Amino acid sequence: MSLSRADRSGFAVWWWTVDRIALFAMLGLIAIGLMLACAASPAATGGPLTQGDFRYAVKQVAFALIAAGILGGTSLLSLRQVKIVAAVVFAVALIGTVLVLFIGEEILGARRSIDFGGLSLQPSEFLKPGFAVLAAAILADKHELPLPKPIVTFLLIVPALIALPLQPDDGQTTLLLALWGALLFFAGVELYWMGAVAGGMSLLGVIAFASSAHVRLRIEQFLSASGPGYQTGLSLKAFAHGGLIGVGPGAGTIKYRIPEAHSDFIYAVAGEEFGLALCAVIAVLFCVLTVRLLLRSAGAREPFAQLAGAGLAIVTAFQAFINMGVAVRMLPAKGMTLPFISYGGSSLFAVALTMGFALAVTRQRPKLATREDSFLGMLGARA
């Protein structure tokens, strides 16, 4: 099938306006994730002395099909529709993040997900794409507000910043604050706002270290001269075992001893069975995806598209960097999934929504089509 630029059908218009390089990078990461799900599933369902199965791999295929639908569907949205969908997603995710404290599943002392009868979803995963779009809409809007816009955007996530540490989920808290700071930076706010963000994050880090034995243990293990902690130590052994090209698909042995090998430490499974070669491919794909979306965002005509595209790209890149950094002991151990690749419906659906929004706001639209209504004006018209 060939598509002409003169073809005005819906698919043809989408194909010629969407960032195809970024799209192919996303699809490549999803394909690698499915391959690694097959490699990690026996370790997650079995052990060194017990036979595992491929149930997680089968589920991940189903999750990937749904995620592909989310990615494609959201990439078709107009800028106005992106703002509306993001507002709904953020509101539902925020309510779900609070409800988790009361009705969520408790796993290893944490409440982060809600069971929907066979499908467990983590509402906090969906806060990031919703907040990135909403905060970008507010910061880029020409309407003046009674409060400074950085404060207004911060107030959006205050309920989440209260609920997330109670779950506890320090990783999502860190990502939300980092996303907020990145959006302020891209919006060109005064330097004292950036200083306030850095100071606030440092203060929260000190409070978390002083009040949470779990956080303190992870940081002390990272700084310890006696060696890494249990999970990170096994992860490093997996990379050493795999070497340059890996031991081969299904031949890994250390993966059976790594807790959460199918999710938080999936990068170590890639290193053991497919070696440095595949790890490098994964890192390069994330770099290509991030740089491509940042360049497209910088070239957008609408200030909202510039901010939203950059924020969505950065938060995904930051999450990927944290996951890979933990696996190779560049950062303290922290439970965080690798976007597109780690097992789990919540993670895959949320990153598909994030990147779908990113593809939507970075599409090359005719100049007249970019004259979107003011976001605050939209709210006022509905009041």
- Whole-number Å distance between alpha carbons of 223 and 229: 10
SS3 content of the chain, % helix, strand, coil (to 5): 70, 5, 25
Q: CA separation (Å) from 145 to 87, 142, 184, 350, 375?
A: 19, 9, 16, 30, 12
Range from 71-75, 230-234, 251-255 carrying the lowest mean pLDDT = 230-234
Q: How confident is the model at residue 379 (pLDDT cuts 50, 70, 90)?
A: low
Query: Which range, 48-52, 214-218, 323-327, 350-354, has the best average confidence (pLDDT)?
Result: 350-354
Range from 128-137, 226-235, 260-269 carrying the lowest mean pLDDT = 226-235
Name the residue type at position 381: A
Average of per-residue pLDDT values in the chain = 87
What is the structure's pLDDT at 3? 63
What is the structure's pLDDT at 22? 96
Name the residue type at position 166: L
Is residue 127 scored above 60 in pLDDT? yes
What is the structure's pLDDT at 26? 97
Q: How many helices (H) and strands (E) does the chain have?
A: 14, 3
Q: How confident is the model at residue 227 (pLDDT cuts 50, 70, 90)?
A: low
pLDDT in tens, 312-371: 999 999 999 999 999 998 888 777 899 999 998 899 999 999 999 999 999 987 654 445
pTM over 0.75: yes
Query: Which range, 38-42, 99-103, 310-314, has the best average confidence (pLDDT)?
Result: 310-314
Q: CA separation (Å) from 10 to 3, 13, 16, 76, 77?
A: 12, 5, 10, 9, 12
Burial 256-284 (b: 16+ CB within 10 A, else e): bebebbbbbbbbbbbbbbbbeebbeebee
